Amino acid sequence: QALRERGCRSEEQFREVLREIEAEVQRRKQLIHQSVERRAIISKCYKPKHPEVYTLQDAFLAPEFLEIVRFCTSPGADLQGLLRYLESFSDKRIYRLPVFTEEFCQAFVDELENFEQSDMPKGRPNTMNNYGVLLNELGMDEPFLTPLRERFLRPITALLYPELGGACLDSHKAFVVKYSLHEDLDLSSHYDNAEVTLNVSLGKEFTEGNLYFGDFNQDPSPVPQYIEVEHVGARGLLHRGGQIHGALPIASGERWNLIVWMRSSAIRNRLCPMCHRKPELVEAEGFGDGFTEPLGEEEPQTVNLCAL
């Protein structure tokens, strides 16, 4: 029925679509193995220009961000108190906050450009972004991204998005995307394979290219209302992964953005956020897509931890 609604009529059309789907399934099954191979080569052969940026340090974080985290981990912290530190946009639960120092952003982008110019193998973030870097392949997951998620972001998301597992975001996929006039200019409407997304503008100099946000994917309206949000250097936007959004074209310059998809297995083990069905899991290396295998028919233990 879904294919008919999209124009399929003849048996040959159905068979052609089925072949395309099967080829895409096989391609996706190979992605994790190819990524592991690239990471091994990069770890062995690549010489970083700024090795210090690979391990998270408090000095990389904006003082205002550290103050927000201190509030969120203090006794009696609540949502209303947190909102005094954040910029809010409409009623879509989109928030802007300072994250990194400008000095760190400059060094990080310089490192990413150095990697881009190297002859190392490179995976791309997804089928929509053709330019960028998968940060797990650079070896940044454990020394940088996991502590960023666990120590600094999770206390914030616990207050902002409790119903999405904000207190127990236990995995992530992180990548950097690049927009420039002769490469990717924009990004069409989509939603993320994440419970909560952090999008940080790292630089460089650019004009236009605002983000736009529409409805939450599970609550579409007949006439969606979109809002635009401007990028601000070294500041991040927190939003629900299921929020429909995209990026308008840049008019000049070049922009790099850090994207962190944060996931809660306690949420997605019960219902896949992409197909809205109970997931059927297969083994994967690393974080996979953020699911964990429950024991038998029991709920994963993270559910009880999250409830506490």
Please report the DSSP string for 47-59 in residue order. Answer: --S-GGGGS--GG
Averaged pLDDT for residues 265-290: 85
**Contact partners, residue 267, CB within 8 Å, separation at least 6:** 164, 165, 195, 273
**SS3 per residue for 22-41:** HHHHHHHHHHHHHHHHHHHH
Cα distances (angstroms) measured from residue 193 to each of 120, 214, 260: 27, 16, 11
Collapse the DSSP code of 10 into the 3-class scheme (helix H, G, I; strand E, B; otherwise coil) and give the result.
coil
pLDDT digits (tens, 9 = 90+) for 86-96: 999 878 899 99
Provide the 10 A C-beta neighbour count for residue 252. 11
pLDDT digits (tens, 9 = 90+) for 235-254: 999 999 999 888 888 777 88
Q: Of 170, 153, 179, 159, which is closest to residue 253 (Cα–Cα)?
A: 179
**Per-residue pLDDT at 58:** 97
CATH class of 15-269: mainly beta
Averaged pLDDT for residues 67-74: 98
How far is 288 from 32, CA to CA, in rounded Å?
A: 8
pLDDT digits (tens, 9 = 90+) for 5-62: 778 888 888 888 888 888 877 877 777 888 899 999 999 999 999 999 999 999 999 9
Q: Inform me whether the pLDDT recorded for 265 exceeds 90.
A: yes
Provide the 10 A C-beta neighbour count for residue 7. 8
> Among the listed ranges 59-63, 105-109, 137-141, 181-185, which one has the minimum average pLDDT value?
181-185
CB 160 within 8 Å of CB 82: yes
Q: Inform me whether the pLDDT recorded for 285 exceeds 80.
A: no
How far is 288 from 274, CA to CA, in rounded Å?
A: 14
Cα distances (angstroms) measured from residue 178 to each of 56, 139, 197, 233, 269: 22, 19, 17, 14, 32
Provide the 10 A C-beta neighbour count for residue 284. 14
How far is 57 from 201, CA to CA, in rounded Å?
A: 19
**Per-residue pLDDT at 189:** 78
Look over the chain and give the mean of its residue pLDDT values, rounded to a whole number: 86
| More confidently predicted of 84 and 219 | 84
